[in-house]
Amino acid sequence: MSSFQKQDGGLWKNTKKDSDKKPDATGHVFLTRDMLDTLNEFARRGDPIKLSIAAWTREAKDTGARYQYVKPSVWDGNSGGGGGGSYQKQSQPQQSAYRPPEPEVQPNMDDIPF
């Protein structure tokens, strides 16, 4: 099994659906560290956090079950494009502007003259 360095996932038919209140499909999506860094930066700025998801119908090679292959991308909030906003490409690593605060240096109590 791969180490999942890509962003992707899937939705499968919910085989345990026994009422209209349960979802038609369930699944998962993997996010890269770069995507998480970008989302974290948006959160620090107070910007909306939103992912776009594209889906393709596929068939599992091992079971033959049909599912929706999904691929997320980070929504950057700009207008334009078919979905009403543009998306950040995740193929190149992004540098986060966030830097953790420097640790506060505690004075050596033996150096205080009183």
Model pLDDT for residues 29-60, shown as the tens digit of each residue: 888 888 888 889 889 998 888 888 888 999 98
Which 8-state DSSP code applies to residue 111? G
77 within 8 A of 40, measured Cβ to Cβ: no
pTM: 0.54
CA atoms 69, 73, 95, 32: torsion sign? negative
Confidence category of residue 100, pLDDT binned at 50, 70, 90: low
